[in-house]
């Protein structure tokens, strides 16, 4: 592991593998942003039914429910570097094939749904392996800074560069964003594969150990760790609302505000700029308030921003609200990932990560379908208000943890989580 002192905060060294992992993640985020922005626009061109459009998003999260726990267990068994490289290579080939289908005029809602489901199925292994690999490359004390740098870089490449480029690329052809995405997957696969990391040290599995028993270990660890358990419940509630928000933002912007693809790109850029600011202020915010209180503030401010989005019919106001939403969203994401890495034994991290993600993502497909149904029944501006209601519940779920906070760096023994207090 590598890290250097930066005042009282440990920062990750770019050498030792972190820089290359950062480069691969940032490049992939650029391609992901192209695809994520192009898919809804392609869906809108194929149908005007909000529920069908939302179904694309729903199926993009459904694999976390079906395969998420399995992906974490596999990530703890295999060489994470090789697994990530193989997954990115396969995803690159799949997206390249989809780009060809779009270019030939064979795109359909069904094909979009199949692509979203397949890519996320592969992502269940990739994301859990990535979480574990980062913890192996960076000192535990530097994980907060490493996650901030990683997520900030991803936001710059994805939202600030990638998403705004989509309207320009679509002018060259509807298939172009997907072709570029495929190329980024393949280059990222080469970068990750080129990492020279030692094989992960794992104790031999007990006789008779099965994937089912190993998955249960990760679930038990999450259940016993009170801070992680509470944060998982709050994140699950947020994600139900986020499913509605993500799935219907395109119809909110293009339908309710009549802002077109340029307005949709501006909305995505606003979230990105806010996220960059969130990455910069997170360290100071956590130092002043503590982790749990910073998360409570993030959820409360995001709730207010969502109410504004659903009540004020102005693109400028929407963009401003999304920027604020992005600031606090980054604070939430950095601390969620960091706490998970710090409070999990290395040989369990993939399974704890998958348990957290599976439980917290489980409501996203439901939220996406709810958002589509609510938009179609009550108006295109109502999904943000639905999302705000779930954020209120999420903040309420975190309130019991406010009296005492979680240490930034937990001890590395196995008793940490079982006896930790929030």
pLDDT digits (tens, 9 = 90+) for 154-172: 778 876 677 677 777 877 8
Count of domains observed in the chain? 1
Residues of the chain above pLDDT 70, percent: 87
The more confidently predicted of residues 137 and 235 is: 235
Residue 265 lies in a domain: yes
DSSP structure class, residue 11: E
Residue 284 lies in a domain: yes
Q: What is the mean pLDDT of the chain?
A: 81
The predicted-structure confidence for 236-252, as pLDDT tens digits, reads as follows 999 999 989 988 898 89
Specify whether the CB–CB gap between 406 and 295 falls below 8 A.
no
pLDDT at 406: 52
pLDDT at 163: 67
pLDDT at 4: 39
pLDDT at 420: 30
pLDDT at 133: 81
Q: Report in angstroms the alpha-carbon separations of 77 from 65, 311, 350.
A: 20, 49, 9
Tell me how far apart the alpha carbons of residues 402 and 297 are, in angstroms, rounded to a whole number: 11
pLDDT of residue 416 exceeding 60: no
Q: Specify the residue for token string 């202020």.
A: 281
Q: Which residues contact 332 (CB under 8 A, 6 or more apart)?
A: 235, 238, 295, 298, 299, 302
Residue 233 lies in a domain: yes
Q: Which two three-digit tokens encode residue 393?
A: 């519940």
CATH code of the domain containing 43: 1.20.1250.20
The predicted-structure confidence for 326-349, as pLDDT tens digits, reads as follows 999 999 998 888 878 778 887 788
pLDDT at 12: 63
pLDDT at 145: 80
pLDDT of residue 388 exceeding 70: yes
Host H or E run for residue 6: strand 4-6
Residue 203 lies in a domain: no
pLDDT of residue 409 exceeding 70: no
The total number of residues shown for the chain amounts to 422
Residue range 205-220: mean pLDDT, rounded: 74
Specify whether the CB–CB gap between 203 and 347 falls below 8 A.
yes
Specify whether the CB–CB gap between 274 and 329 falls below 8 A.
yes
DSSP structure class, residue 346: G
pLDDT of residue 228 exceeding 90: no
Q: Which domain holds residue 56?
A: 4-195+212-401
Residue 410 lies in a domain: no
pLDDT of residue 195 exceeding 90: no
> 81-85, 95-99, 172-176, 196-200: which has the highest mean pLDDT?
95-99
Residue 202 lies in a domain: no
Residue 207 lies in a domain: no
Q: Specify the residue for token string 């396969």.
A: 90
pLDDT at 6: 37
Tell me the longest C-alpha to C-alpha distance in the chain. 62
pTM for this one? 0.68
Residue range 304-329: mean pLDDT, rounded: 95
What percent helix, strand, coil does the chain show, rounded to 5? Answer: 80, 0, 20
Residue 385 lies in a domain: yes
């Amino acid at each position: 592991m590598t890290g250097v002192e930066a005042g009282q905060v440990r920062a990750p060294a770019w050498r030792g593998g972190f820089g290359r992992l950062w480069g691969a993640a940032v490049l992939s985020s650029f391609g992901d942003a192209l695809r994520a922005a192009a898919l809804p626009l392609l869906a809108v061109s194929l149908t005007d039914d909000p529920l069908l459009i939302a179904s694309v998003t729903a199926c993009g999260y459904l694999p976390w429910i079906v395969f998420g726990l399995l992906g974490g267990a596999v990530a703890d068994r295999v060489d994470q570097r090789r697994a990530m490289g193989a997954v990115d290579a396969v995803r690159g080939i799949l997206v390249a094939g989809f780009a060809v289908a779009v270019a030939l005029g064979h795109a359909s809602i069904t094909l979009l749904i199949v692509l979203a489901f397949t890519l996320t199925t592969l992502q269940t292994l990739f994301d859990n392996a990535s979480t574990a690999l980062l913890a192996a490359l960076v000192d535990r004390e530097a994980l907060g800074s490493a996650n901030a740098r990683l997520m900030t870089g991803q936001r710059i490449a994805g939202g600030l560069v990638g998403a705004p480029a989509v309207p320009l690329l679509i002018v060259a052809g509807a298939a172009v964003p997907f072709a570029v995405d495929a190329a980024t997957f393949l280059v990222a696969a080469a970068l990750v594969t080129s990492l020279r990391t030692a094989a992960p040290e794992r104790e031999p599995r007990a006789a008779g150990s099965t994937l089912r028993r190993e998955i249960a270990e990760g679930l038990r660890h999450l259940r016993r760790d009170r801070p992680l358990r509470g944060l998982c419940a709050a994140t699950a509630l947020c994600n139900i609302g986020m499913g509605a928000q993500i799935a219907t933002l395109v119809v909110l912007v293009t339908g309710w505000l009549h802002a077109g693809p340029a307005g949709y790109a501006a909305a995505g850029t606003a979230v990105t700029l806010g996220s960059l600011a969130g990455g910069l202020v997170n360290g100071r915010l956590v130092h002043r308030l503590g982790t749990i209180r910073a998360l409570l503030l993030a959820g409360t401010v995001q709730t207010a921003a969502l109410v504004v989005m659903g009540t004020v019919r102005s693109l400028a106001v929407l963009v401003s609200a999304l920027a604020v939403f992005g600031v606090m969203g980054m604070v939430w994401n950095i601390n969620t990932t960091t706490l998970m890495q710090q409070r999990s034994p290395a040989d369990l991290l993939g399974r704890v990560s998958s348990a957290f993600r599976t439980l917290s993502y489980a409501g996203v497909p439901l939220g996406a379908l709810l958002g589509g149904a609510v938009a179609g029944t009550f108006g295109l501006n109502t999904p943000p208000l639905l999302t705000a209601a779930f954020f209120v519940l999420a903040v309420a779920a975190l309130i019991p943890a406010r009296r005492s906070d979680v240490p930034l760096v937990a001890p590395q023994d196995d008793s940490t989580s079982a006896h930790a207090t929030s």
